[in-house]
Structure 1
Amino acid sequence: MDQDLQFDQVKNKLASFARTSEAKERIVNIKPLTNIKAVESLLTQTEEAVKLLNLREHIPFAGSENIEHLLKKVEKGISLDATELETIADFLRVNLLIKRYFYKRKMLAPNLALIASDLVELTKLENEIYSKIEHGIVSDNAGYDLGRLRRKKCELKEKVKNYLSDFLKNKNYEQYLQDYIPFKKEGHWTIAVKASFKSKIAGQVISKSANGKTFYIEPAKVSNLVSQILAIEAQITLIEEQILGLLTARIFEDLQALRTNLAIINEIDFILARGQFSIDFSAKRPQLNEKQELVLHEVRHPLIQHPVPLSLSLTNQTRGLMITGPNAGGKTVSLKTVGLSILMTEIGLFLPSSKPCNIPIVKDIFITRGAS
């Protein structure tokens, strides 16, 4: 039915207005509701979304594309890196902004405000992450001695740089050198030495040129400095891993709350997508009935450019309608528009019509291939 009536294409169009991948997936797989109260509730949410979007205010929003993936990692006991932790903190910060925004607009959008009010405030977790993670790295003050070790590492690297520079400028070594710049070979800082003078330089041969005329030697002084750097890097890595592990464990403690927030964000995203769809199509909220009455007022097919509007009325007095006309006369489009009008309503969409239509909430729509 979805393909025959192009309902799947309408859902894809609606999904394009959603921001999160979870909301997009939900829209693509959504099934029409057949309970009139449930559909009425969806339409009321859509109406509130339209009101908010028409204010043209900035609605703080957090995309959750990577959040579910990160929560799964935490669930499996895998430590998050600094960038991933910061993503979680950013998500929590925006959650709070969303909650506050909808609270301020609760008179205009009470149902959306009620949904947003269930967002769990995890300010303590957010602050813990931000206090230890800055710009995608573990901050200097996050752990004991971390800042000091990083500064020492930088000092040693500067010593390596200065030593190599002084060595290459030293007139005593000038005749030994094949070149006057340092070379990075296999992860080592080396100097290019003529083959006949390689024994004159105290250090470790790292590699040599293809013709054997140049030997790349890491001076002993550089080797000693690099060993110190590696030892410090190991200490830094250990401290960083401990901090990342502790923060990940804190997220695990609040995992259920994070999943709750994620579900709420995706729900709000879905509602706002319906609102934006309605605005883009200048759509009107339909009226619902359980009397099997269908009244359309110049409804436009949402997937056709410059469609001919369709108006028709099927009431208790008119139980059937026969459509005749030549090929390419619009019969199929008319039938699809009727079916789509009902299905779109049952997922909470407004209809692109000149004024509110009257739509029956039905359990089944029967079609034949001849109508596709």
Structure 2
Amino acid sequence: MTYPENFEQKIEFHKIRQYIIDQCLSTLGKERSESMSFSSSFDEIRRWLKQTEEFVRILQEEDAFPSDNFFDVRPMLKRIRIEGSWIEQQTLFELRRSLQTIHAIVAFLRRDDEKVPRYPELRALTENVVIYPDIIKKIDGILDAFGQIRDNASKQLADIRRQLTSTMGSISKTLNAILRNAQSEGLVEKDVSPSMRDGRLVIPVNPAFKRKIKGIVHDESASGKTVYIEPSEVVEANNRIRELESEERREIIRILTEFADYLRPFLPDLAVSYDFLAEIDFIRAKARFALQINAIMPSLENRPLMDWVQAVHPLLYLSFQKQNRKVVPLDITLDETNRILIISGPNAGGKSVCLKTAGLLQYMVQCGLLIPLKENSRVGIFRDIFIDIGDEQSIENDLSTYSSHLNNMKFFLKNCNEQSLLLIDEFGSGTEPQIGAAIAQSLLHRFNERKAFGVITTHYQNLKHYANEHEGVINGAMLYDRHEMQPLFQLSIGNPGSSFAVEIARKIGLPEEVIAEASEIVGSDYINMDKYLQDISRDKRYWERKRDEIRRERKRIEELSEKYQSSLDEISAQKKLILAQAKEEAEKLLSETNVKIEQTIRQIRETQAEKEKTKQVRQTLNEFKEKVAAADLNPADVSKTGKKVTHRTKKPVRVAESISAPFVLGDVVRMKGQTTVGEILEINDKKAVVAFGMIKSSVGLEKLERVSNNQLKKEQKKSSNTSDLMYEKKLNFKPDIDVRGMRGDEALQAVMYFIDDAIQLNISRVRILHGTGTGALRQIIRDYLRTVNGVARFGDEHVQFGGAGITVVDLM
């Protein structure tokens, strides 16, 4: 359901409908476009969108789709239901060509019947379409390729036309003979020829000689200088031609009536075929319009949802395209967590356009139209869409502007639910601001309780505070460039917007005393509230950027951890394999040793301890021992992969140098109890300047201890990826900051962030543009710079480059 009755005019959908009508090829598609309507059925909407998306692919990829001869012959089909009626010759020709088009479209869409259909949704439209090639064949027997009745359409027609031809030839010969005689006698000029008047062949004659040619005068020229005479010799022949022409017309009507009788049983199936042609024309028009506005098939979900990325208002896009301008796209998200978006911001900043974009694109989707946004967007389905925008005052109905808004709110409150989308422009306006804001907040609370979705624009502070304090409602701001004093037309969700009333009034040129008095009336706290909101918004963006950097670093560390864990698992598996193989070889060696000893003992017993034999046996045993010892000392193959286990002797560990030795420049150190290592750059009495990665720090010597160069290399390797990120950040860093026009605390905070980034990126020199003015801003900034350890010195810029209006800062 949509509300109010003129909903389409409110969101300007009637212009979208007209664009689609203009793309249609016939009244078939135009009527279908006029009947296009809103739906809340997920399956129906998805089918409509898939049909249009498939036709977009046809327009982009196919050249053979039939797009000619879309004729609407439904009035004729309705008329020939009556017995004895016939089809007009031209209508019959249109019927033949349009039936051929339907036949070609069905063949095109059914060409992959044996495979997976390339266009399944469009293919499904052909299921109930019946093709009658016999009808086309029957028409071809009546009409030629140019839509004229064939001579052989019937035997009687052929005879009539043969007689006509013969009679016309006879008349022509007679007239030419009479004409030659008249020319020879000087009655007719030599360059004239027979002409036709009232369907009869006549001779043009000078009025002075009309009595000299026997016949009937049928006409004369407008100037009166020529009369047209039918000679008496051809009067009967012309009468015969008239009779034959009448017979020809009667025969043609008989043939067309006979064909109408033949066609009458097929009328129901033909009506379905032309409904199919109307649907194809309509879908084609939607697809062409989609290409015109760069629209796509969105990801559709069967629940209330808006998750749009770079959505564009189609009418604004078409208008700007003619002016070679670009539309600022819109990012908007409404889900179960944040259902109602409160948009605030300056006048003419784009709030109403944002609201209309949300309403128009959602309505277009639920009418089966593709919409212009990015592929990663998600679109949901709403059962109801209500809108309150514009001035609805009515003298006839005794309604003021505010009364009309309240009537709309009454309807919204009665009918909204968790399936409804509410679009409200300038919520609560039109009456005394304090009570208007209170009523608006009360209504907003009830909309939120009913879990309705909505996009609401406002200037009221209490609604912004409500959005901050209640779940389900979120603030959004239309951004504004405070330095250029112009709107950016960008929506930022999560922060309230400022109306910038004072700034806009000052830009327009309102007297300064008026602005100052107005500021005194409302108080400085109220004036500064918007600025505080902007400060909070800027800080939030800064810390979000920092958080993203931390998230990327954490992800990198997790990837390294997974990599190292994988390596450890592989090493552990290899260790188990090596131990198992070593154990196997040890058991084998032990078994061989036992066998050898038993053989030696047996041989000694058998020889009864003969001295020579015993000596030989002992020598054999010693040789075996040496062989075993050699096997223990040499590397052995212990792995199928060819890896070897090598007995290594542990190297003596070097004793670290005494920590009591004095530190010198270049020493590798770390703070006691810490793992991060750095290098000494300077030594000043009892303190040293140490570079810990990209950060320099002044540390007491008693807090430092030496570490080995190997530990330094490990730390440098760990920070390599972080350095890459810092390098990328350094490339985008600008060494100048402009704080002119900012308040003191605002400028100080901006400078703090700026100096912090500069020190982190190891920037040697930066410039702060603060202007001259009273010098207060310059003093605040320099007082801060004196407290920063990383600042080596600062001073005025050269006179040629700005002098005292710019502070140049050299960093350590």
> How does the TM-score come out when normalised to structure 2?
0.43
- CA gap of 1:173–1:225, structure 2 versus 1, over 3 A, is farther
Quote the residue 2:141 is aligned against. Answer: 131
By relative contact order (CA 8 Å, sep 6+), the higher-ranking structure is 1
**Counterpart in 2 of 1:245?**
257
Partner SS state of residue 303, structure 1: helix
Q: More deviation in 256-265 or 275-284?
A: 275-284
Matches within 5 A, 1:170-209: 170=181, 174=185, 177=187, 179=189, 181=192, 182=194, 184-188=196-200, 189-190=202-203, 192=205, 198=211, 201-206=213-218
8 Å Cα contact 1:64/1:262 also seen in 2: no
Tell me the amino acid that sits aligned with residue 137 of structure 1.
Answer: Q
- Identity fraction in percent: 27
| Residues 1:302 and 1:202: Cα distance change in structure 2 (over 3 Å) | same
Say if 1:168 and 1:174, in contact at 8 Å, map to a contact too.
no
Q: Which residue of 2 aligns with 1:303?
A: 315
- Residue 225 in 1 paired to residue 251 in 2? no
Aligned residue number for residue 147 of structure 1 = 158
Mapped pair 1:112 → 2:122: yes
Match of 2:72 among 51, 55, 66: 66
Aligned to 2:384: 364
Residues 212 and 353 of structure 1: CA distance in aligned 2, closer, same or farther (over 3 Å):
closer
Match of 1:33 among 39, 59, 73: 39
Q: Is the 8 A contact 1:289 1:361 kept in 2?
A: yes
Letter in 2 for 1:336: K
What amino acid maps onto 1:270 in structure 2?
Answer: F
**One-letter amino acid of the counterpart of residue 268, structure 1:** I
Contact kept? 1:51, 1:108, Cα under 8 Å: no
Deviations 1:284-337 (A, max 9, x none): 322333442211101011011232100011121112211112222111110011
For residues 269-294 of structure 1, what are the alpha-carbon distances to aligned partners after superposition, in whole Å with 9 as ceiling and x for unaligned? 22233333333333232233344221
Partner AA of 2:350 in structure 1: G
Structure 1 stretch 234-243 or stretch 214-223: which is displaced more? 214-223
Cα offset, 1:94, TM superposition: 1.8
Quick one: distance in 1 between partners of 2:34 and 2:378? 25
Q: Structure 1 residues 136 and 212 mapped into 2: Cα distance closer, same or farther (>3 Å)?
A: closer
Q: Is the 8 A contact 2:330 2:354 kept in 1?
A: yes
| 1:164 and 2:184 are equivalent in the alignment | no
Residues 84-103 of structure 1: pairs in structure 2 closer than 5 A = 84-103=91-110
**Structure 2 unmatched ranges of 5 or more:** 1-6, 321-325, 391-424, 427-812
Verify: 1:273 aligned to 2:280, yes or no. Answer: no
SS at match of 2:238: helix
| 8 Å CA contact retained: 2:28, 2:277 | no
- In the alignment, residue 45 of structure 1 is paired with which amino acid? Q
Query: Structure 1 residues 186, 144: closer, same or farther in 2, change over 3 A?
Result: closer
- Contact 2:307–2:334 at 8 Å: present in 1 too? yes
SS at match of 1:116: coil
After TM superposition, list the pairs within 5 Å mapping 1:257-296 onto structure 2.
257-296=269-308
Q: 1:154 to 1:291 in 2, by over 3 A?
A: closer
Q: 1:315 to 1:254 in 2, by over 3 A?
A: same
User: 1:294·1:360 contact (CA, 8 Å) conserved in 2?
Assistant: yes
Matched letter for residue 61 of structure 2:
L
Counterparts of 1:103 and 1:276, CA distance in 2: 22
Contact 2:65 2:105 in 1 (8 A): yes
Measure how far apart 1:268 and its partner are. 2.1
Query: Are the aligned partners of 1:8 and 1:28 in contact in 2 as well (CA < 8 Å)?
Result: no
Q: In 1, Cα distance between the equivalents of 2:162 and 2:64?
A: 42
Match for residue 374 of structure 2?
A: 354
Larger strand proportion, structure 1 or 2? 2
Determine helix, strand or coil for the equivalent of 1:221.
helix
Which SS does the other structure have where 2:63 is aligned?
coil
Distance 1:362 1:70 in 2: 41
Summarize the Cα distance change of 1:308–1:158 in structure 2 as closer, same or farther, 3 Å threshold: same
- Computed over aligned residues only, the root mean square deviation of the Cα atoms, in angstroms, reads 2.8
Give TM-score, length-normalised by structure 1. Answer: 0.89
Are residues 258 and 62 of structure 1, via their aligned partners in 2, closer, same or farther at CA, if it must alter by over 3 Å? farther
Rounded to whole Å, the distance in 1 between the matches of 2:150 and 2:222 is 45
Counterpart in the other structure of 2:774: none
Partner of 1:323: helix, strand, or coil?
Answer: strand
Q: 1:341 aligns with which of 361, 379, 384?
A: 361
Matched letter for residue 260 of structure 1: V
